[in-house]
Amino acid sequence: MLDRSSQPSSPSHIPMDALSEVLQDFRLSGVNYGRCELRHPWSIEFPRQSLLRFHFVGQGPCWIHTEAQGWQELRDGDLVLLPQGIAHRLASAPDVVGDSLEGCQVIKLGGNVCEVVREGTGATSTLFCGSMALDSCALNPLITLMPAVIKGCDVAGNDPVVGPLLAAMTMEAAQPQMGSATILSRMADLLTARLIRCWVNCNGASTTGWLAAIRDPHIGRALAAMHRDPGHDWTLGSLASVAGQSRSIFAARFSAVLGEGAARYLARLRMQLARELLGQSGLSVAEVATRLGYDSEASFARAFKRITNVSPGIVRRTNPGRIDMNFGF
């Protein structure tokens, strides 16, 4: 039923709480961070990217514009999260046009942290911005479900840690000292992880879809196993065994909650991972096929084209995928 793989071993321990397992693998790898001091008037365009973005406002003025929601004012201490990295603009006022980045001085502070300064005589905006990558592919379906823009204050009312974290970031951004940018980047990692967890806790009551499936005591265990080891030789029988159900009950329940069968879900998961590996890792098509459990490059290529409508070779050639280590503007 499912694509066959050459991986001999089976995942050993499957915890009952599959959502906890997926979230415990939540790790952010900071691609780049920047502490910004920008004098009004300023406006910066952020193009769409595959990475998660965030912006923290230590001191305004600051506004954010997205195509779907238009202009929204961000106040001191606000943090906005863009899980899918959609295109957007930040500005000191909605009527400021153009792109001010060319007039900024960018100073590398070491590693992947920099300082962005725009001189002038207007009011100073102090921001801390960053781009992050998820280290766990198991979270990709979760990120896809999240809204395009999340304001921290909208989801974190029941988290006692978020308020003090925001206050600490505000203090660190307003009075920079030695190592402030690095400290801010660590706090931003923690704050982003907690905000995503808050959103999950606020949106877990649905009866269908990925969140409902991962919370299901049976289907969730099978989902977690597939995400943990997508290249394993999964069959309907082995997944039903992991779920603790018969083949027929598992197949019916999986389709009812997720709207597709286990074979289709696993195939799409593998091809999503394949796109990422082909575009970012520099692996050959054969190496990706082996990593995802296919017996041959040809069988992998057929599955890839069937689901994505393009060949893996084209994706690898047109998306070299090296992550830009510049500030990310």
Q: Is residue 116 domain-shared with residue 154, that is, in the same domain?
A: yes
What is the C-alpha to C-alpha distance for residues 316 and 276, in angstroms, rounded to an integer? 10
Does residue 39 form part of some domain?
yes
Q: Is residue 195 domain-shared with residue 233, that is, in the same domain?
A: no
Q: Is residue 225 domain-shared with residue 139, that is, in the same domain?
A: no
Question: Is the pLDDT reported for residue 323 higher than 50?
Answer: no
> Sheet containing 150-151: which strands, arranged edge to edge?
105-110, 113-118, 28-39, 124-134, 52-59, 79-82, 150-151
Does residue 7 form part of some domain?
no
pLDDT on residue 215: 84
Q: Out of 146, 171, 202, pick the residue that ends a domain.
A: 202
Q: Is residue 187 domain-shared with residue 260, that is, in the same domain?
A: no
272 pLDDT band, cuts 50/70/90, is confident
Nearest alpha carbon to residue 127 among 96, 155, 160, 169: 169
Asked if the peptide bond before residue 164 counts as cis, ω within 30 degrees of 0, the response is no
What is the C-alpha to C-alpha distance for residues 13 and 161, in angstroms, rounded to an integer? 31
What is the C-alpha to C-alpha distance for residues 43 and 63, in angstroms, rounded to an integer? 9
What is the C-alpha to C-alpha distance for residues 230 and 293, in angstroms, rounded to an integer? 8
Q: Out of 171, 202, 233, pick the residue that ends a domain.
A: 202
Q: Tokens 């409902």: give the residue.
A: 212
pLDDT on residue 11: 41
Q: Which two tokens stand for residue 241?
A: 């065994």
CB 329 within 8 A of CB 55: no
Pairing mode, if any, of strands 28-39 and 113-118?
Answer: parallel
Is residue 65 classed as helix, strand or coil in its secondary structure?
strand
Q: How many CA atoms lie within 13 A of 206 on its CB side?
A: 16
Q: Is residue 195 domain-shared with residue 241, that is, in the same domain?
A: no
Q: Is residue 223 domain-shared with residue 162, that is, in the same domain?
A: no
Q: Is residue 49 domain-shared with residue 198, that is, in the same domain?
A: yes
Domain count, the chain: 2
Q: Which domain holds residue 123?
A: 26-202
Does residue 20 form part of some domain?
no
Question: Is the pLDDT reported for residue 186 higher than 90?
Answer: no
Average pLDDT, the chain: 82
Nearest alpha carbon to residue 283 among 318, 242, 247, 320: 320
pLDDT in tens, 122-151: 999 999 898 887 766 666 777 888 889 988
Does residue 4 form part of some domain?
no
Does residue 13 form part of some domain?
no
CATH number, domain with residue 40: 2.60.120.10
Non-local CB neighbours of 102 within 8 Å, separated by 6+ positions: none
Does residue 1 form part of some domain?
no
Q: Out of 172, 202, 232, pick the residue that ends a domain.
A: 202
pLDDT in tens, 1-33: 454 443 433 443 444 467 666 666 566 676 788
Q: Is residue 240 domain-shared with residue 147, that is, in the same domain?
A: no
pLDDT in tens, 289-298: 999 999 999 9
Q: Tokens 């974190």: give the residue.
A: 156
Q: Is residue 117 domain-shared with residue 194, that is, in the same domain?
A: yes
pLDDT on residue 120: 87
pLDDT in tens, 63-108: 999 999 999 999 998 889 999 999 999 999 999 988 888 889 988 8
Q: Is residue 153 domain-shared with residue 112, that is, in the same domain?
A: yes
Element (H, E) at 100: none
Does residue 190 form part of some domain?
yes
Q: Is residue 235 domain-shared with residue 290, that is, in the same domain?
A: yes
Q: Is residue 191 domain-shared with residue 231, that is, in the same domain?
A: no
CATH number, domain with residue 273: 1.10.10.60
Q: What angle do CA 143, 301, 145 make, to 5 degrees?
A: 10
Does residue 323 form part of some domain?
no
DSSP 221-285: HHHHHHHH-TTB---HHHHHHHHTS-HHHHHHHHHHHHSS-HHHHHHHHHHHHHHHHHHHT---H
Q: How many CA atoms lie within 13 A of 10 on its CB side?
A: 12
Nearest alpha carbon to residue 114 among 103, 128, 99, 100: 128
